[in-house]
Amino acid sequence: MNKGKVYLVGAGPGDPRLITLRGLQCLKESDTIVYDRLASPRLLRHAKAGAEFIYVGKLPDRHTMKQEEINRLLVDLALEGKTVTRLKGGDPTIFGRVGEEAGLLYDHGVEFEIVPGITSAIAVPAYAGISVTHRELASSLSIVTGHESPEKLDQSIQWDKVTNATGTLLFLMGVAKIDYIASQLMKHGKPPHTPVALVRWGTRVEQETVVGTLETIADIVKQRNFQPPAVIVVGEVVLQREKLRWYENKPLFGMRILVTRARAQASALTDLIEEMGGEPCEFPVIETRLPKEPEAVRALRERLEAAEDYHWVIFTSVNGVEYFFRWLKELRIDIRRFHKARIAAVGPKTAAALHERGLFVDELPEQYVAEGLLSQLEQHMQPGEKALLARGDLAREVLPRELAARGVEAVEANVYETVVADTQDGMVMEWLREKAIHMITFTSSSTVGNLLEVLRRNGCDDPVDLLESIPVASIGPITSQTVAEAGLALTVEAKTSTIEGLLDAIADYNKNRNSN
CA 257 to chain centre: 7
**Residue 449 belongs to what H/E stretch?**
helix 445-457
As a whole number of angstroms, the distance between CA 252 and CA 275 comes to: 9
Out of 36, 91, 177, 349, the active site residue is: 36
Taking Cα atoms as reference points, which of 171, 177, 208, 40 lies closest to residue 94? 171
d(C-alpha 451, C-alpha 488), whole Å: 12
Q: Is the peptide bond between 60 and the residue preceding it cis, with omega within 30 degrees of 0?
A: no
With helix as H, strand as E and coil as C, how does 243-287 read? Answer: HHCCHHHCCCCCCEEEECCCHHHHHHHHHHHHHCCCEEEECCCEE
DSSP code for 484:
H
* Distant-in-sequence, close-in-space partners of 480: CB < 8 Å, separation ≥ 6: 474, 490, 493
Query: Long-range pairs for 63-66 at CB < 8 Å and ≥24 separation?
Result: none
DSSP for 67-130, written as a single string:
HHHHHHHHHHHHHTT-EEEEEESB-TTSSS-HHHHHHHHHHTT-EEEEE----HHHHHHHHTT-
Of 15, 88, 91, 173, which one is the catalytic site residue? 173
* DSSP assignments along 353-408, one per residue: HHHTTT---SB--SS-SHHHHHHHHTTT--TT-EEEEEEETT--SHHHHHHHHTT-
The amino acid sitting at 390 is A
CA atoms lying within 13 Å on the CB side of residue 116: 3
Secondary structure class of 233 (helix, strand, coil) = strand
**Contacts of 510 by beta carbon, 8 Å cutoff, 6+ apart:** 251, 252, 253, 254, 255
Round to whole Å and give the CA distance between 146 and 149: 8
Q: Is 66 a catalytic residue?
A: no
To the nearest 10°, the Cα dihedral for 145, 149, 154, 157? -10
Does the annotation mark 362 as catalytic? no
d(CA 349, CA 476): 15
> What is d(CA 321, CA 395) in angstroms, rounded to the nearest whole number?
14
Angle, CA 261 vertex, CA 260 and CA 267 arms, to 5°: 110
36 carries an active-site annotation: yes
Give first-to-last CA distance, the chain, whole Å.
Answer: 62
Known catalytic residues? 36, 58, 173
